[in-house]
Structure 1
Amino acid sequence: MERNGRQAWPPELSEPLREVDRLRRGGRYTSALALARKLAEAHPEQVRVLVEVGLTLGVWGGQPEEALPWFDRVLELAPGHVATRYYRSLALARLGRHADAVVGFTQVEAAGFRKALVVHMKRAESLVALGRLTEAEADWTAALAEDPGNPWLFQQRARTRTRAGRTEAAELDLSTALAAQVGEAVDPELLYERGALRLARGEVAGARADFDAGLAAFRVGDPPSLLDALRQGQRDAR
């Protein structure tokens, strides 16, 4: 029996698929892939099995090109399988096929995919790669509507606005992100990026204050390159 282009799920496949996931999470990628392929050979029209082969290759194995044919097979069997269209779009983006990825993410959005936030984020990243900055900014704004106050999203929109030459709007985003951070929660990278914007506009005192604050907020585990950039910013803002 089939339902919406998919075969009914055999309950006896549930445990082997759980084993695939256990193997992946346990770092046994080769064994996980071998088991997933074996299940796919035995059940070539089981959508869920085919999806897991694609995910094992594309996500756990870092082989998006190898994953694409598996996602395509799923969509041939079940064109309305929205999650697979999302996974396929991610694989395309990882391969640098951003125009195709944007088309896929837009189809996923139109289908009402439940993870609207990640669709906006991933499409924005591909749009930035394509230089379509106005559309990318709109997606970052939509992502912020899904997750208001998220400092990382403000930072990404600020970077997009900076690339588009909208530095005042970018600085406002960084200031908004920083406004909610106090003490050890202050992100020195945000301070560096705001300081760099201010310095580029000739606001030397404000830039120096940001670089000083960024150095004070620098934490163990932050990238050494950020420390170097903050120190260079201090020197440039003298």
Structure 2
Amino acid sequence: MKRKGRTPWPPELSGQLREVDRLRRGGRYAQALVQIRQLAEAHPDQLRVLLEMGLTLGIWGHAPAEALPWFDRILTMAPGHLTTRLHRALTLARLGRHAEAVADFNTVESVGHRKLILYAKRAESLRADGQNAEAERDWTQALAEDPGNAWLLQQRAQTRAQLGRLAEAIQDLTDAIASEEEDSVDPELLYERGALRDRLGDRAGARADFEAGVAGFREGDPPGLLDSLRLELQRTSPAP
């Protein structure tokens, strides 16, 4: 029987969902999917069960297109379910439907949900949608939540470079480099800063970054990056 429009939570469901999660985390996705699908069919009014169905497909099954209808179903039943709205936004972004994702992120933010993941993921969608000024503001908001995060600084630098704000982009990359251990600076950061310095006419600074990138290249870094660093180093070196 429903109470105030809600179906009471069967106590046994908590243990059953824990078992689904145990299977997912243990790499037994197929079994987890069978069990959560059975639970969703048996309890079609339980939002948490439907949400776990969507998460199982979208996160553990890497099938965002299959997960999306489950999130839509929940929001039809409960439009104010913010956790689902956030996961729907993330799923839409993974599907490349960035304008719709931004709309969902905006809805989540409008009710006071202001967290790092919201700003960072919305910034990615805004940038993909060509809204670089708005994306730059979100990267800045994300950095307010996690100051000094090298990845966030790199993303803001890339966006600022697209906006033509090269000096600020270089400063972001400088801050990102400074936040890393001296003996493990990401060569990609050095490559990007070198490229921006070159665009501003600082060929000596660019060459120094490319040299440092080659010297600091690590096992596991993209092989193509090393080729790019060497090519740019050769291009910016003085003629013999």
In structure 2, relative to structure 1, the CA distance for the partners of 1:22 and 1:119 (3 Å cut) is same
- Aligned equivalent of 1:39: 39
- Residue deviations 1:71-90 (CA, integer Å, cap 9, x gap): 11111222221110000011
Structure 1 residue aligned with 2:17: 17
Q: Compute the displacement of 1:100 (Å).
A: 0.4
CA distance in 2, matches of 1:199, 1:193: 10
Q: Offset at 1:2?
A: 4.8
Distance 1:236 1:3 in 2: 72
Amino acid at match of 1:46: Q
Q: Distance in 2 between matches of 1:8 and 1:78?
A: 16
Shift of 1:211: 0.8
Distance 1:219 1:164, change over 3 A: same
Aligned to 2:65: 65
Shift of 1:96: 1.0
Q: How many residues are treated as equivalent by the alignment?
A: 237
CA shift, 1:92, in A, is 0.8
Alpha-carbon distance change, 6 to 123 in structure 1, aligned in 2, over 3 angstroms: farther
Question: Shift in Å at residue 7 of structure 1?
Answer: 2.5
User: Quick one: distance in 1 between partners of 2:169 and 2:211?
Assistant: 20
Instruction: Report the counterpart of residue 97 of structure 2 in structure 1.
Output: 97
Give the counterpart letter for 1:91 in structure 2.
T
Per the normalisation by structure 1, the TM-score is: 0.94
TM-score normalised to structure 2 length? 0.94
Residue identity opposite 1:152 in structure 2? W
For 1:3 and 1:231, the matched residues in 2 are separated by 68
1:145-181, CA deviations, whole angstroms, 9 ceiling, x for partnerless residues?
A: 1111111111000000111121111111111111233
Q: Secondary structure at the match of 1:7?
A: coil
What is the aligned partner in structure 2 of residue 151 from structure 1? 150
Q: Distance in 1 between matches of 2:6 and 2:80?
A: 10
| 2:111 alignment counterpart | 111
Tell me the C-alpha RMSD between the 2 structures.
Answer: 1.5
List runs of 5+ in structure 1 lacking aligned partners. none
Partner of 1:203: 202
Instruction: Summarize deviations over 1:195-234 as a string: whole Å, max 9, x none.
Output: 0111222211101100111122221111112111111121
Query: In 2, distance between residues paired with 1:212 and 1:6?
Result: 64
Partner of 1:190: 189
Structure 2: runs of 5 or more not aligned: none
Tell me how far 1:47 sits from its aligned partner.
0.6
Which moves more between the two structures, 132-141 or 55-64? 55-64
| Runs of 4+ with deviation above 6 angstroms | none
> Whole-Å Cα distance in 1 between the matches of residues 219 and 76 of structure 2?
49
